[in-house]
């Protein structure tokens, strides 16, 4: 039956096959985060709009075009969170986390919202998981964070992944470079796209990200910040690269790398996957040493990343297989339905997967359903108190006392 209602444009329902795969991704990530001491945190799905205007940056596409912003009933401007770092920094400041032992290492997963043009790998509600290490400027933290994402993608088996890294310098050292870049853009202004031209003064770095031919031609000869790095910025970048090499992580320095968010300083990185087509990034992030202070906290350096769960799923390319059931309890005698449910509950309490018929099927229908569910054993409760345990693969069947069921099924499973 076709419904009159559909999931809104750019959103989707997560159906069970997909949900299983997502659960595996989240469980794998949680285990990796836990082993490295990144504690879970969750923030609300919406925040005051100003948090993102200040945090993400007024000149970014996210803030200019992509936020789901509305007024609540009290006249306050609210925005569905387009990203997770600004909210976590808000929470860090709000809860005085700078008083804890530093750095504070956090991890998260959840839905995010951007009003983008929907296409494969780009949605209006999508899911990210990520980490933040707040309160350290050590290159060790950059390397640790990058290795976490590399480990996650490796452990999940995401194919064809490449890591690109760059360094944006710090705001002071970047100033001279940005002037040089603006001069280059102005000198070739007529060849640039309208969007890039309008942002020469406010966000010249974004020109590296443009996909129109004119701008790309101009950017091919543009000066890059990586070539201009010096002093502590250059040392930091060199140390991150040395650490990645020591950890056995392959990477490429990409001087044209930029990110769509203003808060980044020094390290930025991006994991791309060639299986993904146009939306090729699975995850990325970088250092944001000025953000916490900008949000009213003490000067606090930090680094983090986010990965897109849908992009990982697309790259993996398949839904997770059903795992079947350890047992199905069927009844040949409808008078034994209660007993069947109680036995299934007992099996579940013993950590096994078990189901009973909830639809009033006859025995034949129940066996067919058990087969459909992938049940490995079926217990058939017969009239007069007897019971048969059937192995669905071999078809072998034997009499059993239901009291021994947990042992029989648990034992046979291992
Ligand atoms: P960002 O927060 O823009 O740095 O993006 C981090 C990651 O989130 C990207 O590498 C993507 O995997 C994912 N992502 C960002 N925007 C979207 C979107 N609209 N739909 C699906 N995934 C997204």
- Identify the CATH number of the domain in which residue 41 sits: 3.30.930.10
Residues 206/258, Cβ–Cβ less than 8 Å? yes
pLDDT at 283 over 60: yes
393: nearest Cα among 309, 297, 326, 300: 326
309 and 362 both lie in a single domain:
no
3-state secondary structure of 323: coil
Q: What is the rounded CA–CA span in Å between residue 243 and residue 158? A: 23
286 and 380 both lie in a single domain:
no
152 and 63 both lie in a single domain:
yes
**Closest atom of ligand 1 relative to the 259 alpha carbon:** 4
pLDDT at 102 over 80: yes
358 and 231 both lie in a single domain:
no
pLDDT tens digits along 52-93: 999 999 888 999 999 999 999 999 999 999 999 999 999 999
Q: What is the rounded CA–CA span in Å between residue 282 and residue 307? A: 6
Residues 33/148, Cβ–Cβ less than 8 Å? yes
Atom 13 of ligand 1, nearest CA residue: 308
Confidence (pLDDT) at 412: 52
Distance 307 CA to ligand 1 centre (A): 7
pLDDT at 44 over 90: yes
Look at the chain and report how many structural domains it folds into.
Answer: 2
**Closest atom of ligand 1 relative to the 306 alpha carbon:** 6
160 and 283 both lie in a single domain:
yes
Residues 295/86, Cβ–Cβ less than 8 Å? yes
Summarize the confidence of residues 308-315 as an average pLDDT. Answer: 96
Q: What is the rounded CA–CA span in Å between residue 305 and residue 345? A: 42
**Residue 123: CB within 6 Å of ligand 1?**
yes
Confidence (pLDDT) at 250: 97
pLDDT at 414 over 50: no
Summarize the confidence of residues 95-124 as an average pLDDT. Answer: 97
256 and 357 both lie in a single domain:
no
Is the preceding omega at residue 312 within 30 degrees of 0, hence cis? no
Confidence (pLDDT) at 261: 84
Categorize the per-residue pLDDT at 216 as very low, low, confident or very high, splitting at 50, 70 and 90: very high
Distances from the Cα of 175 to the Cα of 181, 238, 254, angstroms: 10, 21, 20
Summarize the confidence of residues 355-374 as an average pLDDT. Answer: 97
Distance 82 CA to ligand 1 centre (A): 9
Last residue of a domain, one of 299, 316, 333: 316
Is 10 within a domain? no
User: CA dihedral in degrees (36, 39, 45, 51; nearest 10)?
Assistant: -90
Partner residues linked to 401 by β-bridges: none
146: nearest Cα among 164, 169, 126, 167: 164
Neighbours of 142 (CB within 10 A): 31
119 and 252 both lie in a single domain:
yes
257 and 134 both lie in a single domain:
yes
Distances from the Cα of 230 to the Cα of 78, 82, 190, 233, 235, angstroms: 41, 33, 32, 6, 8
Among the ranges given (110-119, 162-171, 213-222, 401-410), the one the predictor scored with the smallest mean pLDDT? 401-410
DSSP 319: P
3-state secondary structure of 221: coil
Last residue of a domain, one of 289, 316, 343: 316
The torsion angles phi and psi of 125, rounded to 5 degrees, stand at -120, 120
pLDDT at 380 over 60: yes
Confidence (pLDDT) at 397: 95
**Residue 126: CB within 6 Å of ligand 1?**
yes
Summarize the confidence of residues 300-305 as an average pLDDT. Answer: 98
Distance 280 CA to ligand 1 centre (A): 10
First-residue to last-residue Cα distance in the chain: 43
**Residue 122: CB within 6 Å of ligand 1?**
yes
- Interhelix angle for 139-156 vs 16-35, to 10°? 140
Pocket test of ligand 1: the residue of 269, 271, 281, 282 to mutate, having most ligand atoms within 8 Å of its CB, is 281
pLDDT at 343 over 90: yes
Q: What is the rounded CA–CA span in Å between residue 31 and residue 107? A: 11
For the chain, give the mean pLDDT: 94
pLDDT at 259 over 80: yes
Atom 8 of ligand 1, nearest CA residue: 308
H helices of 190-257, in order, are 194-198, 213-220, 225-228, 231-246
Summarize the confidence of residues 143-154 as an average pLDDT. Answer: 98
232 and 346 both lie in a single domain:
no
Neighbours of 287 (CB within 10 A): 29
346 and 241 both lie in a single domain:
no
Is 191 within a domain? no
Distance 249 CA to ligand 1 centre (A): 22
| Of residues 407 and 124, more confidently modeled | 124
Confidence (pLDDT) at 274: 87
Confidence (pLDDT) at 3: 80
Residues 247/137, Cβ–Cβ less than 8 Å? no
Confidence (pLDDT) at 174: 87
Q: Residue 39's domain spans which residues?
A: 16-174+225-316
């Amino acid at each position: 039956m076709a419904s009159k209602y559909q999931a809104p444009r750019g959103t989707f329902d997560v159906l069970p096959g997909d949900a299983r795969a997502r659960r595996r991704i989240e469980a794998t990530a949680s285990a990796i985060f836990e082993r490295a001491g990144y504690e879970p945190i969750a923030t609300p799905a919406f925040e005051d709009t100003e948090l993102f205007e200040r945090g993400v940056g007024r000149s970014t596409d996210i803030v200019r075009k992509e936020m789901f912003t509305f007024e609540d009933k009290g006249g306050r401007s609210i925005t569905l969170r387009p990203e997770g770092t600004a909210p976590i920094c808000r929470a860090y400041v709000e809860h005085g986390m700078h008083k804890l032992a530093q750095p504070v290492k956090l991890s998260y997963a959840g839905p995010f919202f951007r009003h983008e043009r929907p296409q494969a790998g780009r949605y209006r509600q999508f899911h990210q998981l990520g980490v933040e290490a707040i309160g350290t400027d050590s290159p060790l933290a950059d390397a640790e964070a990058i290795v976490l994402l590399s480990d996650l993608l490796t452990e999940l088996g995401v194919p064809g992944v490449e890591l690109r890294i760059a360094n944006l310098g710090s705001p002071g050292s970047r100033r001279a470079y940005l002037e040089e870049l603006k001069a280059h853009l102005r000198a070739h202004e007529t060849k640039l796209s309208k969007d890039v031209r309008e942002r020469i003064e406010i966000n010249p770095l974004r020109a590296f990200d443009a996909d129109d031919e004119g701008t790309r031609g101009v950017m091919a000869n543009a000066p890059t910040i990586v070539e201009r790095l010096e002093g502590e910025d250059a040392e930091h970048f060199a140390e991150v690269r040395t650490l990645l090499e020591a950890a056995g992580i392959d990477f490429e320095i990409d001087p044209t790398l930029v990110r769509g968010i203003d808060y980044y300083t020094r390290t930025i990185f991006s994991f791309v996957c060639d299986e993904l087509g146009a939306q090729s990034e699975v995850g990325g992030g970088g250092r944001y040493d000025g953000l916490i202070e900008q949000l009213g906290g003490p000067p606090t350096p930090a680094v983090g990343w986010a990965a897109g769960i849908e992009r990982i799923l697309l790259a993996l390319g398949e839904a997770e297989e059903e795992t079947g059931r350890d047992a199905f309890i069927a009844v040949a005698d409808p008078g034994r339905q209660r007993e069947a449910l109680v036995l299934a509950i007992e099996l579940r309490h013993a950590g096994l997967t078990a189901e009973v018929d909830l639809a009033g099927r006859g025995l034949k229908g129940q066996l067919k359903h058990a087969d459909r569910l992938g049940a490995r054993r079926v217990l058939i409760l017969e009239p007069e108190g007897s019971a048969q345990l059937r192995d669905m693969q071999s078809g072998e069947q034997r009499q059993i006392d239901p009291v021994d069921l947990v042992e029989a099924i648990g034992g046979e499973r291992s």
